[in-house]
Structure 1
Amino acid sequence: MATPEELTITAEVSPPLSVPKRSKRLPRVSEAQFTRIARISVATVATLVLLLMLVRLWFIDGVFRTIRIEGPSMAPTLLGAHYHLTCDDCLFEFRVDADGAARAPRIVCPNCGYREVKLEEAERLAGDVVVMDRWPLLIGSLRRGDVIGLSQPGMPELAVKRLAALPGETWSAVDGDLVVQGSRVSTLLRHDLTSRLSTVYDHNHPSRHISNVDRWLRPTENHWKITPGKLVFDDQNQTSARENGSPKPADRLPVQWLAYQQWTTWESPAPRTTLSEVLDNDSYNPDSSRLMTRLRDLFFEAHLTSSGAGTFAVKLRDESKTFQVAISPDTQLLQLFDGTKLVYEKKLATNLERGGMLLAGLIDRRVLVAWNGRPIIEHPYRDPIAVRGKIMDPVAIGASNVSLTLTEVRIRRDNVIVPPATFADNDSEVRLGADEIAVLGDNSAVSVDSRSWPLGSAKTSSVRGLVYRPFWIAPRSAP
């Protein structure tokens, strides 16, 4: 028997396996194969996009069939059948509701008060084309201010209104403003301020039959020159505008004023040149018995070019309160006075000699000043004390020791007025339930909405979709 030391083991080792090397080069794709893959990819993506578009369009009514607005309740945002008229006297263009015009004894120009505007030669225009989008209901994205379509019991057609208050909120109307949860929110009803404003008077369209100077009152003879389409002030006495080498405060300058005066530009037995307060007249409703209350939210708008060491000012009145917006051309300093108290000042980053569009006015208990469309001042103030007598000079402009030219001069007004007098239960405040909303028509003089509905509200389940003018429809021509 062999010992361990004598044991010999012989093993045959196999040669190592040969592993083929991988080629680093990918298989070559022929041009035909690449074209085929590209076509399949493009077709797949296009099919998916088309399917998504079809699904999205399925939620939009009005794409394949025309939906038109009927009636005046959403004017001027959405118009029903209407006429686009031009005044024979001042050539001012405006619109009137077609059905209301047929019932009215005559059509009155809202700019100059001309009482014989011809309707016979005007073309009757169809209502706006809109679509109704149900997608926002699916994703729950309706917001206050949206224009919606909703159904109401006993109404065969959908009503188009603006969403004013949401479920669970308390809402009311105070002095023409929408108040929700104790705060004025009517600004939210129109996202674009310019769409909220309508023209009370356009100085570019003076009466050709009556002197237009009567629309501007000069308390005493001064340096103001009034011509059609232009207001000019030229006072070269610059020395009195400075005190120890620095500009005097605006409230201490001897300002020469020019006050706007309102004519009777609505149906009335009085001559149109009869002076009046600026009242809540809406020319779109020529047959409406609108409650003619005094307007408080008025604006002065003009293209301003100015130079000099003095000041240009805009005076605005809201009942017992008087505000003054003062601009110094040489320092570009803008100041806001509440009475005689300086409450705000800011230096403008602009050269007034080059000119720009100025908009200054009152809206929703705020003083708003904008330059070239950009807000500069938005100053809130408390409710003023009501004035019993008439306010005949709600807007005035003044200047001292400057040279300035004003063109494109207009007096404008806030068109969002919510009269509370039509509440069905004479209650000025309504609390909404968890499944209720409040809606209003933009044309509140004639709109039948939550103010007059028996419950003062509508059910959330009655909303059918968001209503808007589609992008493929050409915008309306001016005005």
Structure 2
Amino acid sequence: MIAPTAFGAASASRSLSSPHDHFDGLVAATPMSPLIADQVKPRVVTLRSGFVRQTIEFLIALSLAIMVFRTFTAEAYVVPTGSMAPTLLGNHEEVACPSCGIRFALGIDEDGRAGQPVCPNCGEDKLDGVPIVPCSGDRLLVQKGLYDFKRPRRWEVAVFHFPAEPTQAYVKRVVGLPGESIQILRGDIYINGKIARKSLQEQRAIRIPVYDSQYVSQDANRVPRFIFRHGRPQSGLTSAWRTEGPLLIHDPAEATENATDWVEYRHRDPDRAQYTPIYDFNPYNGGELRGENRVPDLMLEARLIVGNDVPTVDVRLNSGADRFLITLPFHEDALPQVRRNNQAVALAHAVPIPSTPGTPPSSRVLEASIMDHRLSVSLDGVPLFDPVDYDNPAVGYGSDVSPIGVGVRRGSLTIERFKVFRDVYYTSALANTPKRPFGVDEPYKLGLDSFFVLGDNSSVSNDSRFWSSSPVVRGDLFLGKPFLVHLPGQVVPLKVFGRSVYWVPDPREIRYIR
């Protein structure tokens, strides 16, 4: 749910909803919050009447311009709940982990209560008394009238009137389009019996953070997140990898025939406190609501400094029982190569990696993902080949405790930042509520001008799956597309000119919605 807010105005309202309840509407904006309005006190000054008249005319024109802008172009809404977290945040607390230093959002209910905080990065759960900052829900700017000229696209975030209560606005992600048959299977969306895939840009918009090496936990030596392996486990070869704070560094070393020196990520589950496969845990919901579903759809984003003495960099990605090996020739006259389960994969439109011999190596951003039975690889935002799609996933789960690895045979390589993400896993249950969902046990056929929408925080989102009468949003109910989180705020008591102010803008969280 969302509610409209005044364009650019800050609201003092604490009308919140529990991150575990099923009220997902948006909150509407008011012309100006009384809390802010009563602080705008005009000073008495002596000015010439001509200047005063010009000022009044300017203010009137500005007010009319804002009204026109709001009426025909954009409207602001507040998100009070966490059904779209972490893409969009409802009312929450910002928690600072004392172990690794990362900050994360924990949803709070209408009475100001929050669940048990658990750090999503290092798993620290002894967080009583740590610094927290209450924050209001995200304030969205919504492009109105857009859907009068175009229909909502799949994977697009949209604001619409809730069919069961048309005066209430909701924000969700569109996944099913008119005339399609939609079904949720093993966390993925299937359209007309085939898996619905995302482009790399859509993956970036939906992905959920799992780990960030920039935030090193205090117990990193006791429970390391990376292991170093040179060649096969029983080869006895010494690895040239080492850690230096948040950096992963491979020192120059003599090449060993047929032996790649690997740094492998090991996943430590936040709410299980042990090495496990990656599950669909969402820290916004608190530690009481555990992740119950294995997520095979993963993405690596790594910032690399590749020395001129490194011929190739290997990347390994595991997805369920499938194992992909990507070979990237940084300083060899060759094209990227991919092997799936030890079998070569034909690549379409593969391009060589641009190299600059003789110049100091610079930082490169590598993205590699397996989502929706699709392998995508890009360097500095440029795809290195067309996505590799497959419809015959290997049966089973495989060993997913270490699902990602980066390896070299020789030379100097520094990984400045190693980030792991997962895809949204669409569940068949709503926070353990015994409800038979639409589009899960069997496909649901959408009619003309009918759409199916879901929340990113799937385990607590009241969306098309669980609406009592019908899962459909008609095309005429769409209000617009949110494009910007503007003026996100912290609820921080301050004294300003003798008055208490409980909401201040937090410019760190201003962001575009893709």
TM-score, L = length of structure 1 = 0.75
1:321 aligns with 2:338: no
Deviations along 1:271-300, whole A, 9 cap, x unmatched? x3x221111111121156355211211222
Superposed CA RMSD: 3.3
| Cα displacement (A) at 1:434 | 2.3
Counterpart in 1 of 2:262? 257
Deviation at 1:113, TM superposition (A): 1.0
8 Å Cα contact 1:331-1:347 kept in structure 2: no
Query: Unmatched 5+ residue regions in structure 2?
Result: 1-62, 431-435, 489-505
CA contact 2:241–2:249 (8 Å) conserved in 1: yes
Shift of the alpha carbon at 1:161? Answer: 1.7
* C-alpha contact 1:203 1:408 (8 A) present in aligned 2: yes
Q: How far apart, CA to CA, are the structure 2 residues paired with 1:421 and 1:469?
A: 29
Question: Given that residues 152 and 159 in structure 1 are in contact (C-alpha distance below 8 angstroms), is that contact kept between their aligned partners in structure 2?
Answer: no
98, 103, 115: which one aligns with 1:88: 98
User: Identity of aligned pairs, percent?
Assistant: 24
Are residues 1:150 and 2:161 paired? yes
Give 1:172-183 correspondences, 5 Å limit: 172-183=183-194
Structure-2 residue corresponding to 1:20: none
Shift in Å, 1:91: 0.4
- Matched residue, 2:414: 405
Separation in structure 2 between the aligned mates of residue 128 and residue 310 of structure 1, nearest angstrom: 46
**Match for 1:296: what amino acid?**
P
Give the alignment partner of residue 453 of structure 1, picking from 464, 467, 472. 467
Q: What SS does the aligned partner of 2:160 have?
A: strand
The aligned residue for residue 348 of structure 1 is 353
Q: In the alignment, is the contact (CA less than 8 A) between 1:430 and 1:456 conserved in 2?
A: no
SS at match of 1:359: strand
State how many pairs are aligned: 410
Q: 1:477 aligns with which of 508, 511, 514?
A: 508
Quick check: 1:229 aligned with 2:246? yes
CA distance in 2, matches of 1:155, 1:234: 62
Pair 465,109 (structure 1): closer, same or farther in 2 beyond 3 Å = same
* Partner AA of 2:248 in structure 1: L
Shift of the alpha carbon at 1:341? Answer: 2.7
* 2:117 aligned with 1:115: no
Tell me which of 95, 108, 127 is aligned to 2:137. 127
- For 1:247, the equivalent position in structure 2 comes to none
* C-alpha distance in structure 1 between counterparts of 2:145 and 2:124, whole Å: 47
Partner of 1:292: 292
The aligned amino acid for 1:366 is R
Q: Who is 1:159 aligned against? A: 170
* 1:304 match: secondary structure: strand
- Pairing 1:370–2:387 present: no
Q: Do the aligned partners of residues 119 and 444 (structure 1) sit closer, same or farther apart at CA in structure 2, a change above 3 Å counting?
A: farther
The residue aligned with 1:185 is 196
Any idea what the Cα deviations from partners look like across 1:156-178, whole Å, max 9, x if unmatched? Answer: 73222222212221111223222
Describe the superposition over 1:170-203 as per-residue Cα deviations: whole angstroms up to 9, x where unpaired.
1112232222233433526x95543322322221
Secondary structure in 2 aligned to 1:477?
A: helix
Going from structure 1 to structure 2, the CA distance change for 1:476 and 1:279 (only over 3 Å counts) comes to: farther
Structure 1 residues 284 and 234: CA distance shift in structure 2, 3 A: same
Matches within 5 A, 1:430-441: 430-441=444-455
* Distance of 1:340 and 1:452 partners within structure 2: 42
Deviates more, 1:50-59 or 1:321-330: 50-59
Amino acid at match of 1:417: Y
How far 1:128 moved relative to its partner? 1.6
Residue correspondence of structure 1 range 264-279 to structure 2 within 5 A: 264-266=269-271, 268=272, 272=273, 274-279=274-279
CA contact (8 A) 1:325 1:335 kept: yes
The CA deviation at 1:61 is 7.0
Distance in 1 between the 2:128 and 2:303 partners? 32
